[in-house]
Structure 1
């Protein structure tokens, strides 16, 4: 938020808090052709409300408290909040700037006379909502003075700074996250870019397509492509059935004509369709989807309309490693786990007795493992085939659990808490080459990396650095791999991260110590950090491993599992994985 002037500073706090309420209001009046505006609800649509004036004869502190709690009123241009301002303040208040998200707000009276009152508002900054709907974590304190004046016998706020300040709970109650999807550099997977938009269903399809056309957030851009670039521009969506009414609501379908798309090759057209369809489907904008290139069908095979079935090859909700099944490190060796028991994996990985952690490639054909060398008191990173041989790649005093890229050829690990390496195995020759990863982008975020996990789409790396969760993008720059544009994902107060894994393309499951919840679910942009069910687990919770359908955790007794399709959060219990009781057991999955 722009630093307010002295006059603005007096009112800033109030405006900020009021803005939270007001933001929902402006979304209702968005024109269908406008750029996306980040206003809406997280879990439910705001109820229709009428604009009402403040209650009469309110004391200044009461009026201010009322002002700070009207944020759920979805009326155009924050009309509800403007009722609490003088006419001059309402006319000059710029509510279009970014939103600052705060917690622990306190309102204190400094002075009051018959005609004026001054209040001090203090809060902790935790995030910013940018004008493109992207959430950015923030950290610091906020202190503003708000001045109210008595006008016509009623108290009113006489000035507000540009922008909005919103309590985090109000933000979570008043906004909804929507994933925009962008293809990774190879075009083999879609990476989510979370945005927070107004829950106006009538405008949502247009907002999403406009946001895709505007491109990914700057921090993600180096790791992804955008098919709505390079001369390809979408016309505003219309109803596919040609009938009047809102687009993307009900069964009318969505029709989008992409100008310039006729120049794309077949593969690029398929990726474009997948990017758009999965973005709309991810926000529950129903199809069919009629996609055109300069007025003609984008693909003649689907001239009558696309469904998600036609773009299933890039389904961001499907985990290719699910079919591989569960393995485990037990008594220092790799074993396969099924409903009938345990089976020792043939070859090197099942024959060693010193394995400490391991990971399988997405296709289950490659293995990377950390194996101890008691003679040298070191650990070796071993890479080889499942059921076959292995070769040493690196040695260090300490090596993190390996993590595979989605190409099934490259595996990442951290040596001695600081050196990140990427090892690539040639599938035809079996030769393994290694290279150091550029970690300059992690500067200032800590020293000791205890965990690193590559996302299933390959565009991000989630790490634990000095007990904090950090997410960076994975980029190839001038022939060298790098971790760039890193940012911390704040946990709950007092929590230190122990282990983590990707529960989806945009969420992490994190085990913690010292906080109020041994497990938390964290959205990758840092906007949502929630306790995750830990029923039937005994802390501390060590290794976390996850697929799109099942989560695994190593607690103080054994390996536990939780199915994603289990009942609601309150009724979800972790259950023991048969045959894996024991403290020396670690779950192993692809990834």
Structure 2
């Protein structure tokens, strides 16, 4: 199919669906992932307005090397422009304002203000960084340059913003989120590291999505995650020179040629790298990889690894059983839900003190193995740990709040959370004594977590630790506003005990004015309940890097005060609503009531 530009657009790009009639439009609509934009070179004697508009359109295309976009630039600017160095994401396509003809009277150039609302940036390592929408103001400067014939002059851009500048719809049409995987420091399980790659061939590297993903993995973790993870392969390891396409054979085996000698990455190093690749490529819908074969610089096979072998390195391993959600009834007793069937089943009483209501509970968390649980008393004063598979006598609390006896429950212990290591996390919100604690194995000596950001004017409303134990989602109230922050968990062996820190907090939902509930929903995804400024409450999926899509908003539900999501997408999301009690959301369905009265639904974690 040929790209055709009619009289409606003298320069710029034709936006073309993969099928149907050719249409000339401005940019792409949200969710138009199948729309292709083809760059069109500037016409002869194009006026400055056309040059600027054409270049802004050409930046949204898949043109190899952005060769056509460079035709709008002066020869010097075309050589120095590096579209791969960064992406500035605006809420909508950049607005081009009329030129200020007096900005450059000496050179008779013209400066065109470019504006919009910046919502995110993507760096050279493909890491997405969101921000609260802020005003974006840059300029594109055009001058007259001698044409190729040496006689005439043509308007061309000699100064422009760095990298690419795209509206969010064009960004989501051209790029997709992919999880790279690295090993948690000193451990044998993998941690997701989300990045953005091109949906199709990358214009700069000419690599297809599979090859882009492998290259991104070999480049190493994003700057934020790097201090908490390990990469087993030697420094400088990369794809063999000239490789731009990787495809599987008829056995679904992906052969990956590397530019290093076999003696530098053999044995266990090769095996772990192959596991990283297999789990990473499992996130790409365009390819089915059942086995990875790594080759050295001379194309010799160094190792092979299959999906089944790679599964042992995942933070949450497949057990074959369904994940069970739990909740608290009106008496503060822990109950188990059976929610995966077509009809809701009566909740089951949980064995042990937490199910008996020996101490009425206000919050609960279930260990990943589903054999133990932790409960916070209804008054928030004490944290208990107990078996939920066998009967046992009540045990003394593993931790008590430092709050005064007269303190309100919200000024005491938060809801707890278990990480995949079996350690238990909880925040004490006592005024003057606000702390974050981790209890090794849920029974050991508590460790006060180093939290340089937890000042007296900062309050942890709730927390959820990822299964890999490397990241923690925090709802933090400061200056009357509750926001969602993702912190990095770092562990070091101290003289007497392990030193644990939560550092480098990153906003994960900056466009939301307030966030009221959060749950992990897989390796790098969260379910978030919150509202944007002036908007109504929403329940939506977010990546841990803060990126999102309009298609990831869940059906509306009023008065949600808690939400719990499974690790696997095949299980239902469960929520607590002040109006409807405990409700579930099966894949492809709408919310359904499960229990008329109940609070704090949770999945293991």
TM-score, structure 1 normalization: 0.78
Instruction: Please state if 1:65 is matched with 2:53.
Output: yes
Aligned-partner SS, 1:362? coil
Change (3 A) 1:267 1:361: farther
- Deviation, 1:313, is 2.1
| SS at 2:178 equivalent | strand
C-alpha deviation, 1:464, in angstroms: 1.0
Aligned 8 A contact 2:97 2:114 in 1: yes
Alignment of 1:564-575 (within 5 A): 566-567=587-588, 572-575=589-592
Which stretch of structure 1 is more off in the superposition, 217-226 or 509-518? 509-518
- Structure 2 distance, partners of 1:230, 1:146, is 39
1:309 is paired with a residue whose SS is helix
Q: Which residue of 1 aligns with 2:363?
A: 357
Is 1:383–1:393's contact at 8 Å kept on the other side of the alignment? yes
CA positional deviation for 1:292: 5.0
Tell me the distance in 2 between the aligned counterparts of 1:291 and 1:195. Answer: 23
Q: Distance in 2 between matches of 1:227 and 1:43?
A: 39
1:329·1:586 contact (CA, 8 Å) conserved in 2? yes
Q: CA separation in 1, counterparts of 2:528 and 2:256?
A: 40
Cα distance, 1:275 vs structure 2: 1.0
1:492 aligns with 2:511: yes
Distance 1:465 1:210 in 2: 36
Q: Which secondary structure does the structure 1 equivalent of 2:279 belong to?
A: helix
Instruction: Please tell me whether residue 537 in structure 1 is matched to residue 539 in structure 2.
Output: no
The separation in 1 between residues aligned to 2:457 and 2:522, in whole angstroms, is: 25
* Cα displacement (A) at 1:511: 0.5
Residue 526 of structure 1 corresponds to 546
* Correspondences of 1:8-407 after superposition (within 5 Å): 44=33, 47=36, 49=38, 51-55=39-43, 60-103=48-91, 105-109=94-98, 111-112=100-101, 116-138=109-131, 140-149=134-143, 155-200=155-200, 203-229=208-234, 233=237, 236=240, 246-248=245-247, 251=250, 253-256=253-256, 259=260, 269-283=270-284, 284-287=286-289, 288-291=291-294, 298=302, 306-315=305-314, 323-331=322-330, 332-338=332-338, 340-352=345-357, 354-373=360-379, 378-386=380-388, 387=390, 388=392, 389-396=394-401, 397-407=411-421
Contact 1:135/1:196 (CA < 8 Å) preserved in 2?
Answer: yes
**Paired residues of 1:180 and 1:279 also in contact (CA < 8 A):** yes
Report how far residue 274 of structure 1 moved.
1.4
Distance in 2 (CA, whole Å) between partners of 1:255 and 1:445 is: 54
Contact 2:86–2:121 (CA under 8 A) maintained in structure 1: yes
The separation in 2 between residues aligned to 1:550 and 1:266, in whole angstroms, is: 41
TM-score, normalising length: structure 2:
0.76
What is the CA deviation profile of residues 401-442 of structure 1, one whole-angstrom value per residue up to 9, with x for unaligned ones?
11101122x11011117411001247xxxx5321111112x3
Per the alignment, residue 567 of structure 2 pairs with 547
* Counterparts in 2 of 1:446 and 1:212: CA distance versus 1, 3 Å: farther
Match of 1:28 in 2: none
How far is 1:156 from its partner?
A: 3.6
Give, in angstroms, the shift of residue 235 of structure 1: 5.2
**Comparing 266-275 and 176-185, the one that deviates more:** 266-275
- Partner SS, residue 275 of structure 1: helix
Q: CA deviation at 1:68?
A: 2.0
Contact 1:381 1:392 (8 Å CA) reproduced: yes
Q: Which has the higher contact order (CA 8 A, sep 6+)?
A: 1
CA distance in 2, matches of 1:334, 1:185: 35
Which shows bigger deviation, 552-561 or 278-287?
Answer: 278-287
Aligned mates of 1:160, 1:513 — CA distance in 2: 36
Task: For residue 554 of structure 1, report the CA deviation from its aligned partner.
Answer: 1.0
TM-fit CA distance, 1:461: 0.5
| 2:539/2:555 contact within 8 Å kept | no
The answer as to whether partners of 2:31 and 2:169 remain within 8 angstroms in 1 is no
1:420 corresponds to which residue?
A: 436
Paired with 1:81 and 1:517, the residues of 2 have a C-alpha distance of 42
Counterpart contact for 1:319–1:547, Cα < 8 Å: no
1:474 alignment partner, one of 489, 497, 505:
489
More helix by share: 1
Q: Is the 8 A contact 1:98 1:163 kept in 2?
A: yes
1:471 Cα offset (Å): 0.5
What is the rounded CA distance, in whole Å, between the counterparts of 1:383 and 1:264 in structure 2? Answer: 44
When residues 47 and 434 of structure 1 are mapped into structure 2, their CA distance, relative to the original with a 3 A threshold, is same
Output one character per residue of 1:495-550: Cα deviation in whole Å (capped at 9) or x when no partner. Answer: 31001011121111100145345212211112325474443622344343433233
Question: Partners in 1 of 2:348 and 2:82 — Cα distance?
Answer: 66
User: How many residues were matched structurally?
Assistant: 522
Give yes or no for the alignment of 1:506 onto 2:524.
yes
3-state SS in 2 of match to 1:173: helix
Whole-angstrom CA distance in 2 between matches of 1:457 and 1:312: 14
Shift of 1:278: 1.4
**1:521, 1:531 within 8 Å by CA — same for their partners in 2?**
no
- Aligned partners of 2:31 and 2:551 also within 8 Å: no
Shift of 1:392: 0.6
Deviation at 1:475, TM superposition (A): 1.2
What is the alpha-carbon distance in structure 2 between the residues aligned to residue 415 and residue 368 of structure 1? Answer: 15
How big is the shift at 1:91?
4.2
In structure 2, the CA distance between the partners of 1:266 and 1:73, relative to structure 1 (3 Å rule), is: closer
Contact 1:498 1:511 in 2 (8 A): yes
Task: Identify the range of structure 1 (276-285 vs 217-226) with the bigger mean alpha-carbon deviation.
Answer: 276-285
More divergent stretch after superposition (385-394 vs 360-369): 385-394
